[in-house]
Amino acid sequence: MSTLETGAGNVNPEAVGTSSRTYRNTNRPWRSKESGGFNKPTLAGLIVRYILLVAMFFVSVGPFLWQLSTSFKGPKDPIYQFPPSLLPSDFTLHNYVEVANTVPILGYAWHSLIVAVTLAIANVVFSTIAGYALGCLQFKGKKIALGILFSTLLLPGEVTLMSQFLTIKSLGLADSLAGVVLPGLIGAVNVLLMMAACRSIPPALLDAAVIDGANTWQIITRVVWPNVRGMASVVAIFAFIGGWDDFLWPLLVLSDPDKYTLTVGMQYLNSNFGSNPRVIAAGTMIALVPIIIFFAAFLGMFTFIGAWNDFMWPLIVLTNPDKLTLQVALSQLKTAHGSDYGMLMASALIAVVPLIIVFIIGAKQFIAGIAEGAVKS
């Protein structure tokens, strides 16, 4: 028999074996060389992928970890040994103190923050307006505008650097933060991102707004913006990081040391402490702190909510009443006060207040970003 028989008939063992093997193969993260389904790699290919991922991790994260470790090392700790030692044996914060005494960190950081926040807000506003025009409207010269926009992406920034500087100088904005900000108020890549987001808006929704008598500004604020907030958060992040990390353009525009941004001001560490890489590493870590905080604020929100709401694990681990978490302690109110629902509701509200604060601060943009890729009917 070559097929499986149903009911009271006999079952072919070879067919069962083949069926079982096929079923097991579909559950594996790899495929055999003889089987189909090229969306899955072979076992050797899967191993190579993980090796490459580990290698990329060390290549991208390794220098950061080495620099972080170097910033905490004292004079007795070797720096250039192989293999490198990431745990300093002579731990010290003197390198950071030396940076703070040499460079006005707070002033430079404030200038960088002004530039980064201004660029983030301006790029969100202008890119949204331009993205709506290029993605949703039909007008003469639209293809020409798109062609010019795409052509700017082909030119490296250094090609137009001198012409931009001469323009800023002729406007009287040289040696000012306004001159640093002006060329980056809108980016071509950000416009393309917002244009793609605007194209995902159902045309019927825009037509309905026009029929209801909405003007252009009302369409942008009440129809377009709620649908592109997720992409706008991406644009804001890119613009903020680009403005904070920029070095060459502020170096060219600014000449007064009192107006330097943090990245430009840190170059003095290389001249004053060129023979002490520990201090230079500390200065680099200080410049990275706002970027780390920026991302940690987004990623840490989910961790905070999960840890705050956790009930089962603290209930198992903690036995001392003085060490109970809020969730576990509130579970005992019903026993201590019977059916006093007013107290129970008040305690529940107390437990929820921190989550509401976190939600108001950041969850709105996260929800918009998650829903950005949803299929719209």
- Rounded to 5 degrees, φ, ψ at 186 are -145, 135
CA atoms in the 13 A half-sphere facing the CB of 368:
17
Kindly indicate whether the domain formed by 102-295 is annotated with CATH number 1.10.3720.10: yes
Token output for 158: 């250094």
Structure tokens at 341: 């629902």
Which residues lie below 8 Å from residue 332, measured CB to CB, with a gap of 6+? none
Phi first, then psi, for residue 91 (nearest 5°) are: -65, 135
**Do residues 231 and 132 lie in contact, with contact meaning Cβ atoms separated by under 8 Å?**
no
Domain range annotation of the chain: 23-92, 102-295, 310-372
Which of helix, strand or coil describes residue 73?
A: strand
Which pLDDT belongs to residue 125? 93
Question: Which residue pairs from 348-353 have beta carbons closer than 8 angstroms and sit at least 24 positions apart in sequence?
Answer: 350/326, 351/326, 351/327
| Contact partners, residue 334, CB within 8 Å, separation at least 6 | 344
State the virtual CA torsion across 183, 189, 195, 198 in degrees, nearest 10: -100
Q: What is the pTM of this model?
A: 0.62
Asked if residue 106 lies in contact with residue 229, where contact means CB atoms within 8 angstroms, the answer is no
User: Over its length of 377 residues, how does the chain's per-residue pLDDT go in tens digits?
Assistant: 444 444 444 545 444 444 444 444 456 666 666 555 556 667 777 788 889 888 888 887 777 788 788 888 877 777 777 777 777 877 888 778 877 777 787 888 888 889 999 999 999 999 999 999 988 888 888 888 888 887 777 777 667 788 888 889 899 988 899 999 998 898 888 998 899 889 888 888 888 888 888 888 888 888 898 888 888 988 988 898 888 888 888 888 988 888 888 888 877 666 655 567 777 777 777 777 776 776 666 666 667 777 777 777 777 887 787 877 777 777 666 554 455 666 666 666 676 676 667 666 655 555 555 445 444 44
Residue 216's alpha-carbon distances to 56, 136, 140, 224, in angstroms, are 47, 12, 18, 10
Omega before 83 within 30 of 0, i.e. cis:
yes
